[in-house]
Amino acid sequence: ARVEFADMERVGRNPARIIPAWRELPAGQPPERHARGIGEPVWAGRGQPELVEAQHHEALLNVAFADTPTLSLLCPYDLDALAPTEIDEARRTHPRVQRLGRTDPSVSYLQLPPRAKPLSGPLPEPDGAPPELWFGPGGLHEVRDRVEDEATRAGLDPGRAADLVLAADEIAANSIRHGGGSGRLRVWDDGRAVICEIRDAGTVGDAMVGRNRPRLLARTGRGVWLANQLCDLVQLRSSPAGTVVRLAMRHRD
C-alpha cells in the first residue's frame, strides 16, 4: 500500500503531528503487508521556526520507526527550490539518498541514538521584552488569564485563543508537576502568531515526548501531546539548565 498526505501542509504545519499520523498506517495494516508513505515536511517558504522543527522531525523518523520494518517512507526534497544548507541537512537526517533513480547511502548521515534527547539549543529572543509572569501551585488561573488577555489583545479568533489557553494551561501544569513546582510565562505577538512561552527548572529526557499518543488511563504524557494537537507549532528545548516550551497560534488558520 502506498499512502500520500495530500494535506501535508495541514498535518505538517506542526511537524510534531506527522509521526503520530504515520504510526496509524502500520497499525491498520495486516502484519504481512508493507506500507509505503511519501511525505514532504520541508518545503520552500517554511518559516525558520517551522523549518528547524521539520528538520528535527526528519531525524526523529529514524528513531520512531527503527523497529517498524513494515513501513517505508520517502521524503522528497526540491533541489531547485530549497537552499543548499537545507539539502545538506537532509543528507544528515536520512540514511539513504535517492536521485535520478539511484539510491545510495548518505555519507553525511548522523544516526541518533535510540533514546534521543530533545533539542537543547537556545531559542531566538523576541523583539522587545515581554513581561514575565512567575507562577506556582495555585497560579494556573493567572496563566490562563494572561494568555487569554494577550490573545484577545492580538485579535486572535476566539476559538483559536481558547485552544492556546488550554495548551498553555497543560504545559504550565507540567511545570508544577515535573518542573520543580513553578515556572515563568511570557506571551507576545510576532506579527504572524501569538507566542506563549513557559520555562521551568525541569528536564525532559525523551525527544519523542508529545509524539507518542498517550494511553487512555496514562497519568503522564498528555500535556505536550495535547499542545501539539491544538497549536500550529510547539518548540521544546531541554537541558540540565531547564526546559522551555513555546506554543504558537497563527492569526489565521
The partner residues of 237 in beta bridges, in order of sequence, read 244
Task: For residue range 59-90, list pLDDT tens digits in order.
Answer: 999 999 998 888 889 999 999 999 999 999 99
Prediction pTM value:
0.92
Per DSSP (E only), the strands in 18-139 are: 35-38, 71-74, 96-99, 102-105, 133-135
Residues 6+ apart with CB under 8 A from 70: 26, 29, 31, 33, 34, 35
Sign of the dihedral defined by the CA atoms of residues 202, 208, 210, 212, in that order: negative
Mean pLDDT of 127-140: 95
- Cite the beta strand spans of the chain per DSSP E: 2-4, 35-38, 71-74, 96-99, 102-105, 133-135, 183-189, 193-200, 233-239, 242-250
Out of 24-28, 157-161, 229-233, pick the least confident.
Answer: 24-28
- Proportion of the chain above pLDDT 70, given as a percent: 92
List pLDDT tens digits, range 168-183: 999 999 999 999 999 9
